[in-house]
Amino acid sequence: MSREIHKSSEYTSRINKTFDYIDCNLAKQMTLEELASVANFSKYHFNRIFRSFTGETPFSFIQRLRVQRAASLILAHNDITLTDIALQCGFTDISIFSRCFKKHFGISASEYRDTKTANSNIDQTDSNNVQYLSALEPYLCPGLQIIKWRSDMELNKGVEVKILPKTTVAYVRNLGAYDGNQDMFQQLRNKLFTWAGAHGLINGGNFRFLVMYHDNPNSAVNNNLRMSLCIVVPSDTKTDGEIGKMVIEESRYAVARFELTGADFQKAWDWTYGVWLPSSGYMPDDKPCFEEYLGAPVDGNYVIDICIPVKEI
């Protein structure tokens, strides 16, 4: 089946619904009939359609996401056994998990944990000598009864941990490498904003624009990274074609605000993960992170919140 399938917005919509369903049910077993029903395709054709769209069969895709999620959990939780991680990620047999993990990463899960832990310690030591990775000062905000952090990092304007409410978003999604691809980003943003403008969703003081990253770039294959450009919409909003709709559930997030240029985004992410997070008393939760853009850029300068789901250590 030809990759002309990408040109069909209806097919894109159905495959995106399948992605969202898989993300929400990764720990449980899914059948081909179940996935075909979500996409509203015949089970006899769904496998070929999905593969034409992603380059993978549905179960290769699911297996890869499970292994990548396991890798993220291994990095975040030294106190959880590999067997428990495998079960949390939908593997019913530890031997199957071990084979899949080694096939994907080239080393065993235990070797991956040892190697990444050692590298993390080295990176953290080296980061103390980097100017933009700087000291933190926590303080209590009495009115809100939450802890905030001040920093002498020039780009950072403060960090706070808070509960973000359940939010419905409309999105347009990219599957593949995205780092530094400004043309792709612009095309997706124009497509989303054009749709939002035609539906009366882009004007007014409540407009919010987010970029969500579904995969951990440290454990995912670059050509299969998923990124969604989103706008917050009322829960009853109707979407179609390449514009999908999903719910970001209520959760606790670390919200780190930055004022920066396009060249500084990686510095901001590195500081949040490399300096703030290890000093905060929190660890990443197993949910996607996102950037929220607080207004349009002015002379190439952005104000953004980096939002990372967290839980207490």
Of 3-17, 137-151, 168-182, 257-271, the least confident: 137-151
133 within some domain = no
CATH number of the structural domain spanning residue 259: 3.20.80.10
CATH number of the structural domain spanning residue 70: 1.10.10.60
197 with 288, same domain?
yes
Angle at CA 66, nearest 5°, toward 97 and 284?
Answer: 115
26 with 108, same domain?
yes
Of the chain, the end-to-end C-alpha distance in Å amounts to 48
Q: How many domains does the chain have?
A: 2
- 3-state SS, residue 218: coil
Query: Where do the H-state alpha helices sit in the chain?
Result: 9-24, 32-39, 43-54, 58-76, 82-88, 94-105, 109-127, 182-198, 265-271, 277-280
Q: pLDDT digit string (tens) for 202-244?
A: 876 788 999 999 887 766 655 678 899 999 999 999 998 899 9
213 within some domain = yes
109 with 179, same domain?
no
Q: Which residue matches tokens 């500081």?
A: 271
Contact call for residues 35 and 46 (beta carbons, < 8 A): yes
97 with 39, same domain?
yes
Contact call for residues 308 and 253 (beta carbons, < 8 A): yes
49 within some domain = yes
Q: What per-residue confidence (pLDDT) applies to 243? A: 94
104 with 55, same domain?
yes
153 with 81, same domain?
no
11 within some domain = yes
161 with 74, same domain?
no
Q: Which residue segment(s) compose the domain that 305 sits in?
A: 149-312
Tokens of 14: 């159905």
174 with 296, same domain?
yes
**Residue 43 reports pLDDT greater than 80:** yes
13 with 159, same domain?
no
CA 170 – CA 158 distance, rounded (Å): 28
Q: What per-residue confidence (pLDDT) applies to 19? A: 93
CA 17 – CA 39 distance, rounded (Å): 6
Q: pLDDT digit string (tens) for 165-207?
A: 999 999 999 888 777 678 888 999 999 999 999 999 987 678 8
37 with 84, same domain?
yes
Q: Average pLDDT, whole number, for the chain?
A: 84
Radius of gyration of the chain (CA): 20
